């Protein structure tokens, strides 16, 4: 990676959700999920002194992540965004590395998903199209979830596109 090159730094990889792998939790004496408090209409003042009415609400969410077995959580960092856009970065090489480090590939406990943003998902799609038909098992391909809805998967792990995974952060060294 060259100096000043735009990279993606956040989570991109596989997570197995289950009681003994990784799970979301909330602190004792708080409520699970999102809570909303409506403060009603309030009179506000703009920077130039104009007054107006605005509705005010407070949203609160107490949440944490518990990783009980680190072998079921694998991440990939420092993805060169320019390489994704011009097709010079091989997404599947890094996916393969992450896949073989993840214990969920041979011990199926919980539900395993891959999380990525739209740039990575598009690169996976484009590289899957450009590959030969003989190795499509390891490429992005449709599958079915428990409710029968079609989902994209990589080696049996569902692929979830998450818009909050950004491309604008600094590299991890």
- Residue 81 belongs to a domain: yes
pLDDT of residue 1: 43
Structure tokens at 46: 């703009």
pLDDT of residue 9: 47
- Residue 61 belongs to a domain: no
- Residue 109 belongs to a domain: yes
- Residue 43 belongs to a domain: no
Strands (E), 29-117: 35-45, 51-60, 64-67, 73-75, 79-80, 111-116
Tally of structural domains, the chain: 1
pLDDT of residue 36: 92
Full domain range(s) for residue 122: 7-24+66-161
Element (H, E) at 161: strand 157-161
CA distances to 5, 74, 75, 107, 165 from 160, rounded to whole Å, are 26, 15, 14, 21, 11
Parts of the chain with a pLDDT under 70:
1-11, 130-151, 168-173
- Residue 59 belongs to a domain: no
Q: What angle do CA 100, 172, 168 make, to 5 degrees?
A: 105
């Amino acid at each position: 990676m060259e100096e000043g090159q735009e990279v993606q730094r956040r989570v991109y990889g596989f997570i197995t959700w289950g009681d003994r792998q990784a799970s979301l939790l909330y602190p004792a004496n708080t409520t699970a999920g999102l809570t909303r408090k409506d403060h009603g209409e309030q009179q506000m003042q703009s920077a130039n002194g104009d007054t107006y009415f605005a509705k005010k609400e407070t949203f609160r969410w107490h949440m944490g992540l518990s990783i009980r077995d680190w072998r079921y959580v694998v991440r990939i960092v420092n993805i060169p965004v320019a390489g994704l856009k011009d097709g010079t970065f091989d997404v599947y090489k890094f996916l393969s590395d992450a896949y073989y480090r993840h214990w969920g590939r041979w011990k199926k406990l919980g539900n395993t998903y891959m999380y990525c943003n739209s740039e990575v998902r598009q690169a996976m799609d484009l590289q899957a199209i450009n590959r030969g038909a003989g190795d499509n098992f390891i490429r992005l391909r449709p599958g079915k979830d428990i409710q029968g809805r079609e989902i994209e998967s990589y080696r049996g792990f569902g692929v979830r596109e998450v818009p909050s995974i950004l491309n604008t952060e600094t590299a991890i060294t």
